[in-house]
Structure 1
């Protein structure tokens, strides 16, 4: 039967949930991408404008400096003194000189020389009266009187804003006038050099800044006057244009004409001129229309794909729920209106009702399930299978420090069936008992035999009681509780205590073994497995092999203190025990034999000659202790000397290896350690002790010496030399080379070349 999922409100809710989860990050991601595209584009445009304005500033500063230098040369040119200019014989030479100066700069449209209070003005085309000059060059905003006044009074280089000039009553052209007093920087100049510069000469430098965007580009003088501008779109009001003056160099945002604008400003340090580019910010968004179209298309595709995925996920999530709902419906047979109302709810409501019914059934079976689970724990251990859910369901806790098992049994032969039934009912009360004063939890487990019960005990250690004493206190408390409950003393077997509940199966086997021991001990007794497994060991009269091994190892490491800690207790133990002289000698021979064998292994084969033949037989134990300690000291000192010689020999090999491979850029402490099979930390520490320099310093000095040699003896490129000696970071090497020698590699090579030729 085909299901119609769309009739389910729960299924539709799942779909909307997935769509909501999809759309939120999708919308945020879309806005982020779109905003990031606009921001990046704006940043690129602003940075490009800043770079171009800076370039224009550099060029114009250079041109203005060039004009000032020309004026300076004019002021000191003997051909252009007032006397020679006015003299009929030399005037032609003066005009020719002006023409030469004009030709030195491509930015000059016209060039004039004027001496204060003179009625004439001089140019490359000849001299003319001021009246004729003012008639030939008519400025819209620079009348004749102001012009004559400026020519006679200007004391600092002054650039007039671009103005329309009428040439010979016909031709109109926009030009700037640049007045430079001569002699420059003289508080009382005697004349003025006047340059006419076509506006296009400056605007050509800023035309490309706006590109295809709307906006304005201005060059303002140090007083805030607009010298030239380049406009694409609506103009700014004079007040707004003047507000651009004084902005710090960089990128700014400001509202102009009621709209946000991006402003890029650069200020010249030479003449105080400002170069400003202004663009409406709104056009940046329109410039990424292709990105917007792409994002809209991508968004639509993702929504469609997301809707399909949401439908698929909702169907996958709803399918098991619908299956459970159908199962709940099939199991629920409404017998009255309440049941019918329950079936009318959504799928989750119907499942919830079915689970409640099954929960009631499970509660009835819980004791059996709990006992089965604990039985499996006693059989297999594996307490990790106790999930928090199971612990909560069965009310179990195995979070204590120690765990052990008790097996309890009664002699059923003397009991009637009624008595056994009564005892079985009481056993159910032992499912869980606590002894707070002993910090112990007990969980009862019914065993297959009717007369037997297992108890799992978990407790925390008491620092005031020994572990076994604590266990015995718990066992006695449980035994008393059982005696009080059943009026009969049971037989109890106690297993070994373990720190992990995973070993409860071992403790159970041990407890059952102790319980089976009752045949020899009788009923009503407590048997501990630890007591069954204990028996005196004659081998304890001898020194354990582990102690002799530790003594040998301490001598091999040259650790006299550890060796002494092993020898003294062993000898004093012989004094404290009543052993025969033969056994004492044998024990001493064990110690001596371990020391002689170790001495031979560390390279002292003749140490046995230093031992007196009667040492074991005639020496007292105190004398033996002093003798053994002396031998141990002798061995440890020899080991230290051997280690020092070995380290020095090994360090000589390491230094030789470094000297042969220092030009390999892969050489490092790690490669040395691998080559000589020692740790990098040991190489570093021993190298510093033996050589006096650390590893890095030594490598650097070797490479530095080789570079200096090759700089002196070869003409190879510096980069090839540096790479050849194993140093790959050329700039860093040059910086360190200069710090070490006081010269760059190039200066060092040149210096030694001069010394050799000199």
Structure 2
């Protein structure tokens, strides 16, 4: 398959159509599957975050409950009463008890017990002054000593301080949360406060596993929306947008924070009102499916390549019949040189135009094909084969009647009537196909090669009220009236016998032609029925006149089939009759004389030397065989002469056209009248002889002469066009450009060899413009 094969726009359209047919669903399906995989992964991660946040919530809630329980136990512990903790001896046990309480919680950094209206504060390490503790050992970044002491003295409910930086005495800084619980719990007038300090990392450490390697941020908000603690992996969320997270309800959310789409999971504790939140950039989920993305891209590329190859294969397979059809049409067009080759990529339009042109040509040739087929019926009868039935169906011929017969018509003119040719053409068109419904008849007209003769194949239904002969007479009379009323021509009519089998139409045609011969005896405008010629003048046996007439006419027509049938029928009748030998010999010589006389009339004089061989016979069978050979020879010679006459006639017509094509009055009708033949016969025969119709031939001759004069002379274009017989100069120029691709002036410029011719071309362009 060459590269030029792919230059066809139609083929490329087919390829692109197939590619789009599979590529669009493939892209949609791939995107859907890929997006579904990403969404599933995102959903799994988010659901995992929900589960882990719930777990963290439970853990922290459990730890905070432990701290409240520790505070309650401290409040009711007898070792930790204000008296016992201040006692010089028992204070050591109290300090030890605080150490045990601290050890019960894994998240505690330190716990302190403060009794209000006192300056002492106790821890697992001992007792110290509250001012010293928060001035030297625990220095909070945002929580001043004054505020700490105030809240220790006055808080009535548990309070959690957000994580903040705390500077310890050893110059160590830690981020801690402070949790104060007044004791006794739920008392309207607590007498002390338990202060728990928790390292922020202990809480955030519980949340580290939530992100599971993803970049993001985790937060714990208190019931007021304050950030108690946070853990950042990656870029933190701006502080002015963090409050949006605390306002979310429990569940999975999608927010745009810091101009990035975030997947947010939120869980709220029903115990203390705290909210646990994770926020992760959504684009990370696509990165996690990179291996899936790579697999999808490879699979997509393989499928696309396979699909393109399949599309090319299918498109080529679909385009191949169109290509073959175009090549076939191009071969025919190049052979006839009737149409230029199609432009690249316009195959369907060109094929449509070609089919339209072929259809127009078929419409033009259909009458000729129809007439030729009807002539074949006259010569051979209806052939019982599928091909003949198909041709009859194509050209619209139906032989569906009960009886069939042939009418032969010859024209005679009224004296002094002009335009006889026009009247003949008018009657030919009138009788091309005619219906006579009142007599149940349908007739098809056939132009015969003879200029003044016409034939009708009549198909009629049976009328039980009258005889077949009477019905035929009514039909013939009706046709004669139609002709007489429509034209000034006088029809002489010969009518053959009616047959039930259309295969015997050739018999009826010979009979009608034989009957038409009697117009010389019966006069102009006569109607002669063949069946009325068959009666002999006396009762003495002899060969029937109609049989000899049919034999003579079949020989003149060159119809060997009917001639053989007539010879066989005559000799069968002779064999059936009982006549004397002398009478039998006379009858045989009469038959022989009929054949020889016909041959002589046809100009076949060379048969005279063979007369001795015909006159010597020993039996009727021997004579029958000799006469059949003689008849076959006569018919063969008649056919050959007819063909030669037709060829000779067409040669004369072509020679006449070649001489007169520059005459603008030259036409098909005038030429037919000059050679005494019908226009349709001339058109058909001219086409068979030259390969083009009459007008195309004249146009081509004029074109050739114009081109010759354009190249060889410097005469003005208008003068050349008029000289070749074309009076409409603009129309000629349009037709010339359509056929040659250039105007005559352009053509002369391109191909003329002399400077004078080129100068004349410039003058032509100026005169035309």
TM-score of the aligned structures, taking structure 2 as reference length? 0.47
TM-score of the aligned structures, taking structure 1 as reference length? 0.48
**Who wins on radius of gyration, i.e. which is larger?**
2
